[in-house]
Amino acid sequence: MGAIMSEQLMQAAQIMEDQVDDEIHKLERMDDDELEMLKQKRIDAMKKAQEKKAGYLKQGHGEYEEIPEEKEFFNVGKNSENVVCHFYKDDTFRCKIVDKHMKLLARKHMETKFCKINAERCQWLCERLRIKTIPTIALLKESKTKDYIVGFGDLGNHDEFSTEMLAWRIAQAGVINYGGDLMTPPDEQMFKKKTNYVGKKTKQVKGRGARADESSDEDDW
């Protein structure tokens, strides 16, 4: 087995070396005009990236902000292509857990607007979006609601899910740039090992495909 792995690593290293050599040869064959053109393309790409980032910052991307009223929710959807909005209540403990992860993701995923809105102050909006459980995270793309994360049912049915797990679930709707494996939940293996070690299952909470118990801290809305 060790010999096979060593051979595979050597093959992978050789492929990478060949690719680098190919790029070097291409550059060596270029004349001054071609090199200048390549340089200008890279400069233009960097400028576009900076302009895009500036636009995101102007729209409040990079920060996890509160939407003060219902009508502002629609403005956020118009101004930002990708929106992740947390519908919360002050007295719901699991909303605090969502807040912690959303703050981290807002800084990491500049391409997406992360925000929250108090469900008690936007009952008409909750009725329109059929939000009945708190916390609920609405995932919007181009002003259209693509999906909802209802409770923690899609996040492992426990409070200790990782920020990466929430990112993975959000990425299912295509509203963030995600470089991981969309087919495999990142917390799956970790919590399987933890459950086997402790010798008992983690507490179930209410969410899509999950059954709530009496001690759930989620609220029907």
Max Cα-Cα span within the chain: 73
Point out which residues pair with 134 in neighbouring strands: 219
Q: Whole-prediction pTM value?
A: 0.67
Read off the tokens for 220: 């029907």
Q: Looking at residue 54, what is its pLDDT?
A: 67
Would residue 69 count as lying in a domain?
A: yes
Domain that holds residue 122: 58-220
User: What's the angle, vertex CA 112, arms to CA 72 and CA 67, rounded to 5?
Assistant: 25
38 within some domain: no
Q: Is residue 40 part of a domain?
A: no
Contact 221, 132 (CB under 8 A): yes
Question: Given the DSSP bridges, would you call strands 82-88 and 113-118 parallel, antiparallel or unpaired?
Answer: parallel
Report yes or no on 14 lying in a domain: no
Alpha helices in the chain (DSSP H): 2-29, 32-58, 70-79, 93-108, 123-129, 163-171, 188-198
The number of distinct structural domains making up the chain is 1
Going residue by residue through the chain (221 aa), what tens digit of pLDDT does each one get? 556 666 666 777 778 777 777 777 776 777 777 777 777 788 777 777 666 666 666 677 889 999 999 999 999 988 899 999 999 999 999 999 999 999 999 999 999 999 999 999 999 999 999 999 999 999 999 999 999 999 999 999 899 999 999 999 999 999 999 988 899 898 875 655 555 544 444 444 444 444 333 334 566 65
Residue 205 lies in a domain: yes
pLDDT at 113: 95
Asked, for residue 207, whether it belongs to a domain, the answer is yes
208 domain residue, yes or no: yes
Q: Is there a contact between 88 and 118 (Cβ–Cβ < 8 Å)? A: yes
87 falls within a domain: yes
Q: What is the CATH number of the domain that holds 141?
A: 3.40.30.10
User: For tokens 């400028």, what's the residue?
Assistant: 47
